[in-house]
Amino acid sequence: MIFHNFQENNSSLQFLPQVNLRWPTELSINPLDGSLHILDDHLVLRVTPDNRLKVVVGRPLQCPSDPREKSDLATDVYLESPQGIAFAPNGDLYIAESDSQTVNRVRVVGSDGRISRFAGAESKCSCLEETCSCFDEEHVLAATTKLSTISSITVSPDGLLHICDQGNLRIRSVTASLPQLNDLSEYNIYSPESQEIYVFNRHGQHIATRNTISGKDVYTFSYNVNTSFGKLSTVTDAAGNKIYILRDYNNQVSFVNYFNCFQSLSNIVSINNSDSFP
């Protein structure tokens, strides 16, 4: 059995002569430490300085997981039909997964070892079916864009991810565009990793955090005056729970009221200097 030494602990180290690669398809080098990474079947392996192999992404198919636990650790998830890997200049590792049907996405592993969706929306039908639409010009946000048959990915020196969307005969590039004022005089900043939109008013103050999938507000923020001098006064979550920030005559936080329970400044962390978007 291939990788039999990884069954009990898929992050353990194994010397290179002791390991048989099952189906290696792609190589990539981490620009931060120069370590070689190998995409082998459903795993990403790293060659350590002492010539050992370590599983850094993925879980061997023969290793069962606890269905009751959901983890975002890269070594706890299963990779589905991985097609390619690529490193960004900052060390983030992108992994393309595509079965040409319902799975056509790119996930990213950060320096903390956690994995999250970066591009490609889930499809409710197989892209191989003629009646299944796997392309939509109206969705330009990476996390909600429909992809079809990803064959490869690469990252350019400027940090932009480029996706070969073979099924749609396109090269897709994920870029970070500068926000512009919309019709509501607001700035929307998208975060593909968290699948959230951060909404700022024309004064640069954070007024809402919105889920990109549901379109609902996760948090809303109110300020004492509608000017650039406004200070944070209220935080409201999706359930309607509110936190009130009370200030003294010098605009310094003096009390925080949560469910009518006051806490003095000595018992809270001051947020006086983090009210607005820089």
Q: Kindly report, residue by residue over 161-179, the tens digit of the pLDDT.
A: 999 999 999 999 998 777 8
Report the pLDDT value the prediction gives residue 272, as an integer from 0 to 100.
46
Report the pLDDT value the prediction gives residue 176, as an integer from 0 to 100.
75
Report the pLDDT value the prediction gives residue 271, as an integer from 0 to 100.
45
CA dist 96 and 154 (Å) reads 10
Which letter, b or e, does each residue of 21-54 get, where b requires 16 or more Cβ atoms within 10 Å of its Cβ? Answer: eeeeebebebeeeebebbbbbbbbbbbeeeebbb
User: Which residues of the chain register pLDDT less than 50?
Assistant: 1-11, 262, 265-278
Give 238's contacts (C-beta < 8 A, 6+ positions apart).
216, 217, 218, 219
Report the pLDDT value the prediction gives residue 250, as an integer from 0 to 100.
81
Report the pLDDT value the prediction gives residue 13, as an integer from 0 to 100.
65
Query: Global pTM?
Result: 0.63
Report the pLDDT value the prediction gives residue 15, as an integer from 0 to 100.
66
pLDDT in tens, 247-269: 888 878 887 887 555 455 444 44
Cβ-contact 30, 57 below 8 angstroms:
no
Report the pLDDT value the prediction gives residue 25, as an integer from 0 to 100.
93
Report the pLDDT value the prediction gives residue 154, as an integer from 0 to 100.
96
Give 63's contacts (C-beta < 8 A, 6+ positions apart).
6, 7, 10
Report the pLDDT value the prediction gives residue 6, as an integer from 0 to 100.
45
The alpha carbon of 141 is separated from its chain's Cα centroid by a whole number of angstroms, namely 13
DSSP secondary structure letters along 171-240: EEEE--PPP---TTSEEEEEETTTTEEEEEETTSBEEEEEETTT--EEEEEEESSSSTT--EEEEEETT-
DSSP secondary structure letters along 18-53: G---S-EEEEEE-TTT--EEEEETTEEEEE-TTSEE
Give 184's contacts (C-beta < 8 A, 6+ positions apart).
none
Residues of the chain above pLDDT 90, percent? 49
